[in-house]
Amino acid sequence: MMRIWKKNNQAMEKSGGMKREDVRATPKGFVPVIIGDRNGCSERRLVRVELLRDQRMVELLELAAQEFGYDQQGVLRIPCDPDYFRQVITHKHHEQIER
């Protein structure tokens, strides 16, 4: 399933946008997101649904709502530095391993 998403992600990068079939190819239990700051640096990532309940992630989602509103169409955009986002995900992953 991840291969399909990666293939579609590459096609999305070439065409400049995400198509409806790309969203359908997302593996079950994941949400596609675009993480980026105002400097134009952005990344497309798959985020596990359960991670969306983490407090740090909730804060990022609130930031996205302030920036883009609650009626975002298509892929969820989160306006933050991709490096910080990776830290949030890595920290949560390590917390789960320690349990």
Residue 2 pLDDT: 45
Strands 76-78 and 30-36, by their bridges, are: parallel
The total of other beta-carbon atoms located within 10 Å of residue 75's CB is 16
Strand partners, 76: 33
Write the CB contacts of 12 (distance below 8 Å, at least 6 apart in sequence): 18, 19, 22, 44
- Nearest of 88, 75, 86 to residue 25 by alpha carbon: 75
pTM over 0.75: no
Higher-scoring residue by pLDDT: 7, 28: 28
Mean pLDDT, range 15-24, rounded to an integer = 51
